[in-house]
Amino acid sequence: MSNWVRAHTNIALIKYWGKKDEDLIIPMNNSLSLTLDAFYTDTRVTFDDALTADELYLDDMLQDFTALKKVKTVLDLVREKAGIRSKAKVESYNHVPTAAGLASSASGLAALAGAASLAAGLELSSVELSRLARRGSGSASRSIYGGFAEWQKGSSDETSFAVPVDDADWDIGMLFIVVSDKKKDVSSREGMSRTVRTSPFYQGWLDSLDEDLNAMKQAIKKQDIDKVGVIAEQNALKMHATTLGAKPPFTYWSPDSLKAMDSVRALREQGYSVYFTMDAGPNVKLICRQSQLEEIRTHLLSDFTGSQLIAARPGPALHVVTGPEL
Ligand code: DP6
């Protein structure tokens, strides 16, 4: 039986940062991302009357209660919708290049939404899958789609979901600079919550978003890599600025993140269309032309090792696969 589902991770170019409703995961702002081919999760769910509790195996290792929390939220919603009472075994394989430390909740929770609904016999639309994935982790709502996707914030569980924006079938790619594979000190969930509650810069962030989002959509339509890059880089810097105003303050940047940003600026001075973005961790993600990925990677080899530099291209939507890639 083929009930393995694959979801690819996505990186936001306009960031999701802050929730209006922490239980339902309704965001404060719309966000827009690019789904990537390089990182994905394969997941299978089996509902089994013989089980007395839900079980999560990640890369063949049984996970503890903390890891199960987001998973249980999605499983409970699926059980409720399908009228199932049995507990579930969830098997998941994260496909990330060795020790990259990029395992993402986006691909994980999107794959789970797909696999759990499939195992329960539910036939959900993309919008329904996006809403379900959102309840596990906000950014997962966007990993239902390939290419560019926009998570429209909405104002309720019904109205908050992602939609496809563009298939990204043009000259755009991303290059990951992996500067650390350590677990982050402040999770994105805690970081955004603290920022919303305590940072005086948060309102400034929110006020600038409509303009960023509209400009980004125009730039994508025109396939203008420089505009996409400039807007994404500024948007990421603004998001990260909010964390410095929080109480207590925090930052996801490490000295190596700054080194990576400097390398990007130097490459720009040499004439390359290359920009950066960062999420809730020290790794830096470059936005550039797909056709220049290898050339840019070669330049960066003077500052970073080969295993720190991972090229990614636009990736596909959630789909069923015959078996997991181990
Ligand atoms: C910085 O989706 O991990 O990557 O909804 O609390 O699970 P929860 O948060 P999560 O946050 C991602 C934040 C971000 C920006 C983004 O992906 O848009």
65 and 19 share one domain: yes
Interatomic CA distance for residues 158 and 81, integer angstroms: 14
Residue 325 lies in a domain: no
Residue 199 Cβ inside 6 Å of ligand 1? The answer reads no
Give 201's contacts (C-beta < 8 A, 6+ positions apart): 241, 242, 244, 245
Interatomic CA distance for residues 234 and 46, integer angstroms: 44
For residue 105, give the ligand 1 atom closest to its CA: 3
Q: What is the CA(58)–ligand 1 centre distance, in A?
A: 20
18 and 162 share one domain: yes
Residue 277 Cβ inside 6 Å of ligand 1? The answer reads no
Is the model's pLDDT at 100 over the cut of 90? no
Residue 31 Cβ inside 6 Å of ligand 1? The answer reads yes
Q: Which domain does 22 fall in, by range?
A: 4-167
For residue 70, give the ligand 1 atom closest to its CA: 7
Q: What is the pLDDT of residues 212-236, one digit of tens each?
A: 999 999 999 999 999 999 999 999 9
Residue 253 Cβ inside 6 Å of ligand 1? The answer reads no
Residue 241's Cβ-count burial label (10 Å; 0-12, 13-18, 19+) is middle
List the one residue out of 160, 152, 175, 153 whose CA is nearest residue 264: 175
Task: Report the complex ipTM.
Answer: 0.99
| Token pair belonging to 221 | 């339509």
Q: What CATH number does residue 249 fall under? A: 3.30.70.890
Residue that finishes a domain, picked among 110, 136, 167: 167
Percent of the chain having pLDDT more than 70? 96
pTM above 0.90, yes or no: yes
Q: What CATH number does residue 125 fall under? A: 3.30.230.10
Residue 132 Cβ inside 6 Å of ligand 1? The answer reads no
Give, using CA atoms, the residue closest to atom 14 of ligand 1: 279
